[in-house]
């Protein structure tokens, strides 16, 4: 398995490759696996997200901070992030787990993401772990997670249009500070574009801009 591909996705090169391999080893393999790393990664993730929420929302009370953190680190969100990273294809698991859909299982993907985060933390310290969280989870400034892509798809389908297409048209910045530009297109024509610190966020921003533009045109018609 060529883990250098995953290191490129992470924008982090491990000094201790064994840590990364352990983080990717499902318990079904027996021996040394990723459950202990998952335990540590869960704590590192909460610390990074809590720190950013504290910094970005000085007006927020403790209860609201806790609810926002729960939303940002819930299993479904982490599993989606892991899918975007294509983390499942790097996992080591036995055939029974694999044929049972283990590589797409939300719980398995969530645990693997946290285990990889712990591996980054142990290998490089808190700063690269923090950069990984901010890159893949977001900057924690959104108090409500709006799925603009789903909203745009539903709006178009309701009017008998085909599904929109998303294309990365730009990427700039340092490895740990990437900014992506995504174009959203309908029948080959660009409707709008958006930028973000991850492809997912750029797609969401592009979809939001497209939805606003399309609705604006509809109101003028």
Active site (catalytic) residues: 42, 114
Reading the block at residue 60, the tokens are: 């927020």
**How many residues belong to the chain?**
221
Distance of CA 11 to the CA centre of its chain: 14
Strand order in the sheet with 189-196: 165-172, 179-186, 189-196
Please give the span between the terminal C-alpha atoms of the chain, in angstroms, as a whole number: 55
Sign for the CA dihedral angle at 38, 140, 143, 82 comes to negative
CB atoms within 10 A of CB 52: 20
For the record, the structure tokens of 147 come out as: 């799925």
């Amino acid at each position: 398995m060529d883990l250098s591909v995953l290191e490129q996705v992470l924008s982090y090169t491990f000094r201790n490759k064994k840590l990364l391999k352990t983080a990717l080893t499902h318990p079904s393999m027996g021996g040394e696996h990723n459950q202990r790393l998952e335990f540590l990664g869960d704590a590192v993730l909460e610390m990074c997200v809590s720190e950013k929420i504290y910094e970005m929302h000085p007006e927020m009370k403790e209860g609201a901070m806790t609810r926002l953190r729960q939303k940002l680190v819930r299993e479904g969100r982490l599993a989606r992030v892991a899918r975007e990273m294509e983390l499942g294809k790097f996992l080591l698991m036995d055939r029974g787990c694999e044929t049972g859909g283990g590589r797409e299982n939300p719980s398995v993907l969530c645990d693997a993401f946290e285990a990889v985060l712990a591996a980054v933390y142990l290998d490089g310290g808190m700063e690269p772990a923090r950069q990984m969280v901010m890159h893949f989870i977001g900057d924690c400034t959104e108090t409500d997670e709006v799925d603009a892509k789903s909203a745009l798809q539903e709006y178009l389908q309701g009017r008998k249009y085909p599904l929109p297409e998303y294309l990365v048209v730009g990427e700039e910045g340092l490895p740990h500070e990437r900014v992506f530009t995504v174009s959203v297109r309908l029948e080959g024509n660009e409707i709008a574009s958006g930028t973000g610190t991850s492809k997912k966020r750029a797609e969401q921003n592009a979809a939001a801009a497209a939805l606003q533009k399309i609705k604006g045109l509809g109101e003028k018609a």
